[in-house]
Amino acid sequence: MPAKPLTDEQIQDATRLKSLFLRRKETDPSLTQEKLAFMCGWKTQGTITQYMNGKIPLNLTAVQKFAEALGARLEDISPSLAQRVDSLQKSTGGYAALANGADMPDSPDNVEIRLYSPSELGTAAKDAERDSDFSIRKMTVSKSFLQNNVKFSALKDLALTPAVGNSMDGTYSDGDLLLIDRGVTRIKESGGIYGFQMTDEVFTRRIERRPNGDIAIISDNKQYEPYIVPRSSLDNIRIHYRVVFAWTGKKFT
């Protein structure tokens, strides 16, 4: 499937990133794309070129890497992604922190939730280069926020993972942060959004039960048709987790 075209906002982010790089290069001629890739933890300059030329959209973790390497603020590169960080922290009542280095102080009122990269969950085995973008490794969230807003099996089963692809556009988007419950390994009667395995990869889609015992695997993005799994083949599906919450990025003007 062809890559999803970048939005005007994402193209503007790429333009700001490239302009910032060129300004830094004027004051430091030794700064090359190869050097910047090394500073950001990427193996080659190919990722840098794709971001700067608007071939792939910047995500939150990439912007954080670029901002740190170039000595800039997040909003200097992507105002919308900078706003996402602010909204994420506000949405959890001030008790959430993304952790690359500094952590929130330990507290009996908080719980630390680990972030799993797509390849760790089996959702992006063919995209190892992109997998390195996700440098955020954990988030601290207040237990009261979870208890008031999320239905889950146990705190120890909660994990985070970034959404990948456009199959669930309309509910959440590529790069949004998903809270998943790894304690759920069966499809509930009410259905829901699950991470499941039928082949070598794990897919995240909506699953609904049908009256005849079949299940429908549904992409909320309407350009994809539902896939029906007959009752006789349900043993071929392995459920890895259920999505219980999503922090989605929105632009407010």
CATH fold group of domain 1-91: 434 Repressor (Amino-terminal Domain) (1.10.260)
pLDDT of residue 193: 96
pLDDT at 141: 86
pLDDT for position 125: 40
Give me the count of residues in the chain. Answer: 253
What secondary structure does DSSP assign to 21-40, as a single string? Answer: HHHHHHH-TT--HHHHHHHH
Q: Where are the domains of the chain?
A: 1-91, 192-244
Note the pLDDT of residue 253.
Answer: 55
User: Cα–Cα–Cα angle for 199, 205, 207, nearest 5°?
Assistant: 100
Per residue in 43-98, pLDDT (tens digit) is 888 889 999 999 999 988 888 889 888 888 888 999 988 887 666 655 554 444 44
Q: From the DSSP assignment, how many helices (H) and strands (E) are in the chain?
A: 9, 10
Q: Which residues contact 166 (CB under 8 A, 6 or more apart)?
A: 4, 173, 174, 221
Query: Rounded to an integer, what distance in angstroms lies between the CA atom of residue 126 and that of residue 233?
Result: 26
Residues in the chain, pLDDT under 50:
1-2, 93-106, 124-132
The pLDDT of residue 124 is 45
Fold of 192-244: Umud Fragment, subunit A (2.10.109)
Q: pTM (2 decimals)?
A: 0.57
Q: What is the pLDDT of residue 218?
A: 95
